[in-house]
Structures are given as C-alpha cells and as structure tokens.
C-alpha cells in the first residue's frame, strides 16, 4: 500500500507492507535510491505492518520494487502502474 502526503514542492510517500508478509527484512528499492538494497528498509509499526517514508520532488515518475530476504522481488499492487518489470510511481 502507498500512503501519500503532498506538499508544495515535495510528496511524502510511505511504502507499507502487511504484517509478516513477506517474512524477514524488506527494502524498497528504485531509481530514487539507485536500486541499492538496504538503503530504505521497512520498519515495523505498532499494528505489525512495516513501512518506510521517503520525500520526493513533485511531478516526477519513478520505478521501484520491494526486495525481501533471499532475493525475492515483490511488486506494489496499488502502484500508479506497472511496466511489466517494475512498479511505477508518480509524485
């Protein structure tokens, strides 16, 4: 799930995954962090879900995916689109 808070020149995007799915550590990786695993790790919330918030400039397009332990890639079902390989995000 994606949660968004739009400001004048920036958009806060919170990437959220449900509790326990997938198991282990998960990072959001994309063109906004040069596809570097571990840069933006999801942390557990009080309800058990996991999340990380990034602040990105408005009116940009990004590609991203989730990377879980063991090299498992996951797509975001609620992304703004999919290009057949990555989830798409418009800020």
DSSP state of 34: T
Q: Return the pLDDT at 20.
A: 82
Containing structural domain, residue 64? 2-90
Domain total of the chain: 1
At 21-55, the pLDDT tens digits run 888 899 999 999 999 999 999 999 999 999 999 99
State how far Cα 37 lies from the chain centre: 12
Mean pLDDT computed over 2-14: 94
Distance CA 6, CA 18 (A): 23
């Amino acid at each position: 799930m994606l949660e968004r808070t739009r400001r004048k020149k920036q958009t806060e995007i919170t990437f959220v995954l449900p509790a326990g799915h997938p198991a282990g550590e998960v990072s959001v990786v994309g063109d906004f962090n040069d596809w570097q695993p571990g840069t933006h790790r999801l942390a557990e919330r009080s309800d058990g879900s996991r999340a990380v918030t990034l602040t990105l400039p408005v009116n940009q397009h990004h590609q991203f995916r989730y990377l879980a332990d063991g090299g498992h890639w996951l797509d975001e079902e609620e992304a703004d689109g999919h290009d057949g390989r990555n989830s798409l995000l418009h800020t």
